[in-house]
Structure 1
Amino acid sequence: MSKKKMGLSALILMIFTSVFGFTNITKAFYLMGYASILWYILGAVCFFIPYAFMLSEYGAAFKDSKGGIFSWMEASVGPKYAFVVTFMWYASYIIWMVNVGIGIWIPLSNAIFGDDKTQSWSLFGLNGVQTIGILGILWIITLTIISSKGLDKIKKVTSVGGTAVALINVVLFIVGFIILILNKGQFAEPVTASAMVTSPNPEYGSIISIFSFLVFAIFAYGGLEAVAGVVDETENAEVTFPKGIIWAAIVIAVGYAIGIFVTGVFTNWTFAFNDFPAMNGVEVNMGNVSYIMMKNMGYQLGLAMGVSEATAMTIGAWVSRYMGISMFLALSGGFFTLIFSPLKQLIEGTPKALWPKSWTVTNEAGMPVNAMRVQAAIVILIMALVSFGGNNAKAFFDILIAMTNVSMTLPYMFIAIAFISFKKKKEIHKPFEIYKTETATKIAVYVVTFVVGFANVFTIINPAMNGRLSETIWSVVGPTFFTIVALVMYSRYEKKENLK
């Protein structure tokens, strides 16, 4: 029986849900206010749309390939380049696991208490940062054990969280407009010409810090290369897949812009990130800002409805609880997939001789259990180093976010650079082409590479110039370490193959 393939609307929905992130709206507003809209649009025009066109060509050309981005890079440039880029891509998920494994306790705290209480948690006399580091380590161990059993049913339960998170976007727009109507068209954050280009955040007052925000805009559009792996499951892939990516790109870019604008309806920057957290005894950081903002939305809805301040705070707490449980379930579901899926693709898509034999062995559930244990050990090591590095909660989450943003956006540069070789190789059948000339190809590649590289350089140097040297160091250490590991592994593989 043939498997039913995805149509255009199903593909657009899949891309939207894979790429569009509610927290990208709240974090953007926290960092840059309305001014983030300009950078998100710039990110869409200079990165997302030209990059999406590249992926649609890659995806259509390799629609029967099961090796993901490794297959693309190998055919376009060569196996060594393909392995290093794919390993960097995989390494970004290691950093993601560190980030989410530690940060997941914030939504759980919000789900239980309606507030982020993690800063006051303490195990064995440890501080809040160290405590959630220990909890994160236990979380990784537990999920590695469960996922190695191949328990897909757990993912079905946690997919409920994904649906609930998707509904948060709807809640944001509906409640935002209700508050706007109740407040007779009054925005909490005044809409002015200067507000559209200048951040209310004092940390984003310099040119370097403003340019560093571009990496957030690029990160907000990340995840498309994973979706490109389902081209072979798309109906009439040569036409449907590129069209789906283009439409999804437009919808996502517009969605972010409107979402950030609506946020200003109920969020006065100074009140939401200074006064409101102080009322709750919480320090704002990149880990909890989305929950603080949603709690404030509930609080502002209550005030707009004319209820007492105590009742408004209660409404805010319940909105925060809803978001907390939704995000906890959604992140848990994502973890169950990402703890083995990128690793499996890396090992199965690359030459077997690259890996120790024990890593390629799968158990009865089809999981590379030994490789998963090594992966868990690496994640735990990074978690321990970062959480016991002596930072407060804000600095701690800034480091994690910077590490994640840099490590997950760098591979985009190399996927784009390989596109020039891909276009030159006539032996690769290209059923769909948007870039029909060499000039158009080079302009697109240069723009994407420059924007991603430019954004990452400023993201890396900005913290050091503001006295946060450890953030800069960690941003560089992660990608550098994994690139060296990939080069050493491939060098050993080449020597071993030459001996045969």
Structure 2
Amino acid sequence: MIFTSVFGFANMPRSFYLMGYGAIPWYIISSITFFIPFAFMMAEYGAAFKDEKGGIYSWMSNSKGPKFAFIGTLMWYASYIIWMVNVGSGIWVVVSNALFGKDLTHTWSLFGLSSTETIGILAILWIGFVTFISTKGLDKIKKITSVGGTAVALLNLVLLFGGISILIKNGGRLAQPLSSVNDFITSPNPDYQSPLSVLSFIVFAIFAFGGTEVAGGLVNETEDAEKNFPKGLTFAAIIIAIGYAIGIFFMGIFTNFSSLNGEGVHISNVAYMIMNNLGFEFGQAFGFSHEVSISIGNWVARYVGISMLLALTGAFFTLTYSPLSQIIGGTPKELWPKKITKMEDGIPKYGMFIQAIIVITMIFLVSFGGDAASEFFEKLVIMTNVAMTLPYMFVAWAFIDFKKNKNIKKPFVIYKSEKSGIIAAIVVTFTVGFANFFTIIEPALHGNLSNTIWSIAGPLFFTIVALIMYRNYEIKIGLKNKLSIKSQQVHNK
């Protein structure tokens, strides 16, 4: 589940497309300054609060305080609603690649509807299907995510063995030559020569590691959580970090960077193009005809589509359940309407149906609402770009209080001293803070002040909503306590 939530196979070909071998050091730096220390924090939190259902909310609430925790968790949850709207439609591009080897969604039409409206209808059906299956229990979700994880693991094996075979057959010659160590530092891409463009890639590399915290809501569902949860997180963190670095290098075995400058190659389809090229170069290295090599390439590209579809499906099932489960299972029940908090078979079924209705409504408005609705949704995406990763700073900062609190039993410890835990928390907070700061100011530096304002507006809006909800909860609890005291006084008299 961690693997399908975090590891994005497409991040490797996209990184090679943007930076060539120059992407590798930034992935290593991002894993050292963010991903691995953050995963270690998750492991310590998870072991300490293994019986808690609220994931990151419970961790922050027990360490830093409930109001702080609620602001960070609500912001985080809202961003996943937008993710579902976005990916619910975008997944059909992957379906098209899996079936036909290319994106044909712009030609699709149901009942005379436009392609945008058709994709909207398919996205609505998809959300309904995922929600229906997810409400049948966590065992169903686990089975689907394990299929997704296996598909991506096999895709990496295709890359690994295909790349090694081509390298051996070509006598150790790389398609993208390595002339000096400098090739690991600078990009062959003319668009990524300035410090500003390199900074934008660092942000891309950091966010490629996002999603670890989603597994937080599954601690109480893990067998022998005290031992297995931190072990799983630690293992996944190291494998993912190494996997990204090796994968980017392997792209250069069979792909020359200059071949990616052709017409029709862009960041959305480059994963299919590069892996198609792997199949073609494999055929050529083993002496197959040009036509057979092309056919092998097309089948590899189709398998990429199928694997990414299965992985995305696995991630979708996890993200449909886990964020909602964390925010409902961990927060005080008085924050929500009574029916939403009701758990059946360990799952907030009613809450999941409400979530599905919200996502479906947004997809419908975006698909059928014309340009105004599309523009509004683009603004929502911008608002949640920062809001999605800002909670990492909340979780990392709360870790300082977690390490200082001697009353919290810590059965699993990676940061042996309080000082090392605090340093790790500061490094992660600074890294994510820097990435978010750059994400906010980057549009303004290119003359798009509007997007910068919307990026700031997102976290501010979610913070205000969280504070209002929490204030209402405090008033409700205050009234409840007053009535309870009054009732007790009457009873005593």
Superposition TM-score, scaled by structure 2 size:
0.84
**Contact 1:354 / 1:493 at 8 angstroms: preserved in 2?**
yes
Q: 1:285 aligns with which of 254, 262, 267?
A: 267
Pair 1:412-2:392 in alignment: yes
Greater Cα shift, 440-449 or 219-228:
219-228
Q: Name the counterpart of 2:445.
A: 465
3-state secondary structure, aligned to 2:396: helix
After superposition, the C-alpha distances for 1:123-151 in whole angstroms (9 at most, x for unaligned) are 68887666545533443244335544659
Pair 1:51-2:31 in alignment: no
Q: For residues 241 and 346 of structure 1, do their structure 2 counterparts lie closer, same or farther at Cα, with a shift above 3 Å needed?
A: closer
Pair 1:187-2:168 in alignment: no
Q: Name the counterpart of 1:78.
A: 65
Pair 1:249-2:249 in alignment: no
Greater Cα shift, 53-62 or 70-79:
53-62
Equivalent-residue separation in structure 1 for 2:285 and 2:376 (angstroms): 36
Point out the structure with max Rg over C-alpha.
2
Greater Cα shift, 428-437 or 409-418:
428-437
Q: What is the deviation of 1:493?
A: 1.3
Please list every run of 5 or more consecutive structure 2 residues that lacks an aligned counterpart in the other structure: 481-493
Q: Name the counterpart of 1:322.
A: 303
Q: Name the counterpart of 2:184.
A: 196
Q: How does 1:18-29 map to 2 (within 5 A)?
A: 18-29=5-16
After superposition, the C-alpha distances for 1:337-364 in whole angstroms (9 at most, x for unaligned) are 4223321332122111101223234568
Q: How does 1:33-112 map to 2 (within 5 A)?
A: 33-112=20-99
Q: How does 1:430-449 map to 2 (within 5 A)?
A: 430-449=410-429
Q: 1:302 aligns with which of 275, 283, 301?
A: 283
Equivalent-residue separation in structure 2 for 1:155 and 1:432 (angstroms): 25
Equivalent-residue separation in structure 2 for 1:431 and 1:131 (angstroms): 52
Q: Name the counterpart of 2:17.
A: 30
3-state secondary structure, aligned to 2:60: helix
Equivalent-residue separation in structure 2 for 1:72 and 1:339 (angstroms): 21
Counterpart code for 1:262? F
Q: Name the counterpart of 1:334.
A: 315
**Contact 1:218 / 1:409 at 8 angstroms: preserved in 2?**
no
Q: For residues 417 and 181 of structure 1, do their structure 2 counterparts lie closer, same or farther at Cα, with a shift above 3 Å needed?
A: same
Q: For residues 248 and 357 of structure 1, do their structure 2 counterparts lie closer, same or farther at Cα, with a shift above 3 Å needed?
A: closer
Greater Cα shift, 126-135 or 52-61:
126-135
Pair 1:225-2:213 in alignment: yes
3-state secondary structure, aligned to 2:41: helix
Greater Cα shift, 179-188 or 148-157:
148-157
**Contact 2:4 / 2:312 at 8 angstroms: preserved in 1?**
no
Equivalent-residue separation in structure 2 for 1:438 and 1:196 (angstroms): 36
Pair 1:353-2:334 in alignment: yes
Q: Percent identity?
A: 59
Pair 1:163-2:143 in alignment: no
**Contact 1:209 / 1:462 at 8 angstroms: preserved in 2?**
no
Counterpart code for 1:249? A
After superposition, the C-alpha distances for 1:180-229 in whole angstroms (9 at most, x for unaligned) are 22222222222243331222334433322322222332233233333345
**Contact 2:56 / 2:326 at 8 angstroms: preserved in 1?**
no
Equivalent-residue separation in structure 1 for 2:138 and 2:403 (angstroms): 41
Q: For residues 381 and 198 of structure 1, do their structure 2 counterparts lie closer, same or farther at Cα, with a shift above 3 Å needed?
A: same
**Contact 2:280 / 2:297 at 8 angstroms: preserved in 1?**
yes
Q: What is the deviation of 1:499?
A: 2.3
Q: Name the counterpart of 1:8.
A: none
After superposition, the C-alpha distances for 1:232-271 in whole angstroms (9 at most, x for unaligned) are 6667765665455444433332221111101111122231
Q: How does 1:376-387 map to 2 (within 5 A)?
A: 376-378=357-359, 380-381=361-362, 384-385=365-366
Equivalent-residue separation in structure 1 for 2:394 and 2:46 (angstroms): 16
Greater Cα shift, 340-349 or 463-472:
463-472
Counterpart code for 2:271? S
CA RMSD of aligned residues (A): 3.6
Greater Cα shift, 181-190 or 169-178:
181-190
Q: 1:211 aligns with which of 175, 192, 199?
A: 199
Counterpart code for 2:267? N
Q: For residues 131 and 184 of structure 1, do their structure 2 counterparts lie closer, same or farther at Cα, with a shift above 3 Å needed?
A: farther
**Contact 2:215 / 2:322 at 8 angstroms: preserved in 1?**
no
Counterpart code for 2:478? N
Greater Cα shift, 41-50 or 200-209:
200-209
**Contact 1:209 / 1:459 at 8 angstroms: preserved in 2?**
no
Q: What is the deviation of 1:444?
A: 1.7
**Contact 1:144 / 1:373 at 8 angstroms: preserved in 2?**
no
Greater Cα shift, 111-120 or 99-108:
111-120
Q: For residues 233 and 158 of structure 1, do their structure 2 counterparts lie closer, same or farther at Cα, with a shift above 3 Å needed?
A: closer
Counterpart code for 1:225? E
Q: What is the deviation of 1:424?
A: 2.1
Equivalent-residue separation in structure 1 for 2:225 and 2:355 (angstroms): 37
Q: Name the counterpart of 1:422.
A: 402
**Contact 1:130 / 1:388 at 8 angstroms: preserved in 2?**
no
Q: 1:372 aligns with which of 353, 360, 378?
A: 353
Q: Name the counterpart of 2:491.
A: none
Q: For residues 345 and 438 of structure 1, do their structure 2 counterparts lie closer, same or farther at Cα, with a shift above 3 Å needed?
A: closer
Equivalent-residue separation in structure 2 for 1:88 and 1:380 (angstroms): 20
Equivalent-residue separation in structure 2 for 1:75 and 1:362 (angstroms): 22
